[in-house]
Structure 1
Amino acid sequence: MKMKKLLTLAATFTLAFSITACGGNTAAPATEAPAENPPAQETPAENTEAQELKPEEGAKLIVWESRDERAYTDAVAKEFTEKYGVEVTIEELSPTDQVTKLAQDGPSGLGADVVLFPHDNLGKAVATNLVLPNDFYEEKTKSSNTEAAIQGVSYDGVLYGYPRAAETYLMYYNKDLVKEVPTSMEEVIEFSKTFTDKSKNKYGFMFETGNLYFAYPFLASNGGYIFGNGGADVNDIGLNNDGAVKSMEVYASLKEILPVKSGDITPDIKRGLFTAGDLAMDINGPWELGGYKEALGDKLGVAPIPTIGGQPAVSFSGIKAWYVSSFSKYPQAARLFADFATSKEAQLQLSALVGSVPTNNEAQEDDQIKNDEYVSAFTEQFKSSQPMPSVPEMANVWSPVGAALAEIWDNNKDVKETLDKAVSQVKDLNSGGAAK
């Protein structure tokens, strides 16, 4: 089967969509380093155009993949086996759990050869010696993918990942309910005052208010940030600076038109309301695209997140990528698969299935992407996004900031004081050791 035929094959699959946001909404549990460093793997010979990496004799691979994107990997694995004669077994595992699982199972030889996780887990994986550098295909990977993708799957100047998709979120809306799409949060409030009726469980606008991943625009759009120097300087925390406070004041004002406790705004609830026509606008990611299109058809619209405090909304973004396990018995075959499964054709296939944004430069310029109003909208929002920090200390951020969001939203706590407390907690966790 040729890769270009996979789009036809894709139509036969029933699509399932995850309620997990690109791994950003739930940090993977902390992992401990393996008891011993994995044995050094032989570095492949220098890569040249005339040379192709050859799989080891008798190589067999285990690949971890999410249930929701299994159709894509099944198809790619089948073609890979036909071309190279390497048997591939796919095991379903949430990307946010794979670093922890690899640390547990890798040393005993029970882990996967090729793993998949969002880039904010990379620092933890590198610190605990779980993945090999992307060395043989380094030049090819760097020239084929966007700079943001390469930055996301690199750590401390070393390329590790084989990027396959970029993910962020934007605003879905129901065209039957929203005639003039709001471009600012002030307009969101104005519209919602005419639509929201809590007694009838109808809401004009909704997002996961207690989830840092989705609430990040209300911290970053006016100059807030998590760690300085592009997410690398953990001693520079910008979650409570003047810009963050300004954006969070807009966040707090939205409680007027969304009088729901943060813990009661879940992916399932939002999905049910939006597909039933009881929610006019929803902030969500590409994993919901298929289900929303099926439910609303031509009534489904997409738009950039409205401005916050007069500034363009800065969303969080993540890069999903394949990584080769340090414990693999077949690192050559694993490298070959990771490269094969992230080609232009493979990324277009994945986008056709789940609406993901390709990281491959040529794929982004393909008519399939440019002519798709939904995927192209995600691509535009991605340009206004910031990648999640990949340092291990990022694991120390989710819980304190999530608690602060809930305090501000549910209990009307002072924005500045609550953010100050959260930053103090993050600093304490960092000083006690990353991701402990």
Structure 2
Amino acid sequence: MSIIRKLSVFSLVAVLAVVSFGVVPSNQPVAAQDTTLTIWHSWQDAEADLLETWVENFEENSDVTVELRFIPFDDLRTTYENAVATGEGPDLLIGQADWAGPLSSAGLIKPLGDLIADTDLEGHLSEAAWDLMAVAGEPYGVPVTLDGVALYYNRDFIDDDEVPTDFDEMVELGNELTEGDDVGLLFNPGFYHTAGIYFALGGQLFDEEFNNLWNTDDAAVRYLERHLQVFETNKAMYTGDNVLFRNGQAAMIVDGSWNLNTYREDLGDKLGLALLPEVDGVRWAPFFGGKGFYISSITDNEEAALEFLTFITSPEQLALGAAIAGHIPPSDAVEVEDPYIATFSQQFALGVALPTQGMDPYWGSLGDAITAVTEGGEDPATAAQAAQEAIEELLASSSES
């Protein structure tokens, strides 16, 4: 379990005051003059504003010029893979943390261990953050924000001191508050959103050798029983659709940090955020992931890339990420004042880092098991066993290929 202990962010006014002095880390690579660094990304809206701000601040303190290219998220990874495979593409790619596994296996990104050793860049991020984009202990990416799920609530329905801290209480309260057009709880049934229940129950997915551990104890069955509990209590609550919450017609929703700014705009001061409840006396331990930068394996601008990454991971620039785009900083050195970001930081400290390898056999198999138990009426033990067989079959076929 990867733990992020203490994350925070300065107020925007204080951050801008520091940034205006053009503070540049002392022990960082310095690129040759007249270097142009290219970055491919899919960031939009507030994140696009943040990226442009980072570039402007960096260029004020460096001889390096940065060029940005936007590619829609659904096309970004494939476009990058095809380009680098033919000797083209950018110097830097902004992507999901779990891209580290496939991109490193294909030889499309640089390993960073030797490049960052004993540098300011290495010290800018927490150890757990470096682990998030590592493969077999080797860092391949530089995370700039963490993401994951927590419990949002609407203060029109629930006071701050009434937020449920136990899973059964959450389901019961959600059912009580479901009336007319209002729904008390929106419970996304996907495995990513609910994996923390399985981990809280003591479950594991695989060992260090990627041998399957699903359904090797009772956690798998108990996890599926929790899905059935919500589904049978009130089917209206068993959905990942957030429209009712955005419209002020839902009391609670289990959802991700990526929707924080959207919900702030929709609900204003009515929006509350809390830790996910305990499951059988153990705190829900959700997956947390993140986004960050990868250095292309074919770049000729390695020094410029490292200079840029060192700059944007300074506490001042990561604080801008929180202030402008609602990023949850991957650093212990950034102080948090925003209560929502502080809550997410606390939640991720209880969570499990999304693995960069080994997950492919699980997503579909466990999704099928969840559907079989709820919509199909299958016994949880039977569904857990079927998922185990599907996972092990996929593992066997992948080892043969």
Q: Please, what TM-score do these two structures have when normalized by structure 1?
A: 0.79
3-state SS, counterpart of residue 235 of structure 1: coil
Letter in 2 for 1:158: E
Residue 6 of structure 1: CA displacement? Answer: 9.8
Specify the alignment match of 1:191 in structure 2.
173
Aligned partner of 1:382: which letter? Answer: F
Give the superposition deviation at 1:329. 3.2
> Is the 1:114–1:323 Cα contact (8 Å) retained in structure 2?
yes
CA–CA separation in structure 2 for the residues paired with 1:236 and 1:56 = 51
SS in 1 for 2:267: helix
Query: Which residue pairs with 2:94 in the alignment?
Result: 116
Match of 1:410 in 2: 375
1:313 to 284, 296, 305: 284
C-alpha displacement of 1:260: 4.3
In the alignment, is residue 76 of structure 1 matched against residue 58 of structure 2? no
Shift of 1:227: 1.7
Q: Distance in 2 between matches of 1:70 and 1:126?
A: 26
Q: Which amino acid aligns with 2:350?
A: S
Residues 80 and 435 of structure 1, relative CA distance in 2, 3 Å threshold? farther
Letter in 2 for 1:341: I
Aligned mate of 2:222, from 232, 246, 271: 246
Number of matched pairs:
378
Alignment match of 1:221 (pick from 172, 183, 200): 200
CA shift for structure 1 position 251: 2.2
Q: What SS class does the counterpart of residue 85 from structure 2 fall into?
A: coil
Return the alpha-carbon distance in structure 2 between the equivalents of residues 54 and 434 of structure 1. Answer: 43
| Bigger Cα displacement from structure 2, 141-150 vs 282-291 | 141-150
Q: For residue 434 of structure 1, report the CA deviation from its aligned partner.
A: 6.9
Partner of 1:378: 344
Which residue of 2 is the match for residue 233 of structure 1? 209
Secondary structure of 2:184's counterpart equals strand
- Over the matched positions of the two proteins, sequence identity in percent amounts to 25
Amino acid at match of 1:101: T
With structure 2 as the length reference, what TM-score do the two structures score? 0.86
Cα distance change, pair 177–108 in 1 and its aligned pair in 2 (3 A): same
- Answer whether contact 1:217 1:313 (CA < 8 A) is retained: yes
Q: CA RMSD in A?
A: 2.6
Shift of 1:355: 2.3
Q: Secondary structure of 2:89's partner? A: coil
- Give the equivalent residue in structure 2 for 1:138: 117
- Give the alignment of 1:35-434 within 5 angstroms: 52-55=29-32, 57-68=34-45, 69-93=47-71, 98-134=76-112, 135-139=114-118, 140-179=120-159, 180-197=162-179, 200-209=180-189, 211-228=190-207, 232-238=208-214, 241-260=217-236, 265-266=239-240, 269-270=241-242, 272-363=243-334, 366=335, 369=336, 371-391=337-357, 393-433=358-398
Change beyond 3 A, Cα 1:220–1:97: farther
| Partner secondary structure for residue 378 of structure 2 | coil
1:194 Cα deviation from its structure 2 partner: 1.9
User: 1:4-30: per-residue Cα shift (whole Å, max 9, x none)?
Assistant: 879669xxxxxxxxxxxxxxxxxxxxx
Q: Which runs of 5+ in 2 are unaligned?
A: 1-11, 18-24
CA distance in 2, matches of 1:416, 1:181: 32
Secondary structure in structure 1 of the residue aligned to 2:157: coil
Contact 2:121 2:313 in 1 (8 A): no
In structure 2, do the counterparts of structure 1 residues 312 and 61 end up closer, same or farther at CA, with 3 Å as the change threshold?
same
Q: Secondary structure at the match of 1:403?
A: helix
Map Cα deviations across residues 160-200 of structure 1 (whole Å, 9 max, x no partner): 22121121210000111013111112111221232213xx4
Which residue identity is paired with 1:182?
A: P
Q: Is the CA contact 1:96–1:117 (under 8 Å) kept in the aligned structure 2?
A: no
Whether contact under 8 Å (1:219, 1:245) holds in the other structure is no
CA contact (8 A) 2:124 2:313 kept: no
| Unaligned runs of at least 5 residues, structure 1 | 10-47
> Alpha carbons of 1:353 and 1:435: their partners in 2 closer, same or farther (altered >3 Å)?
farther
* 1:317 Cα offset (Å): 0.6
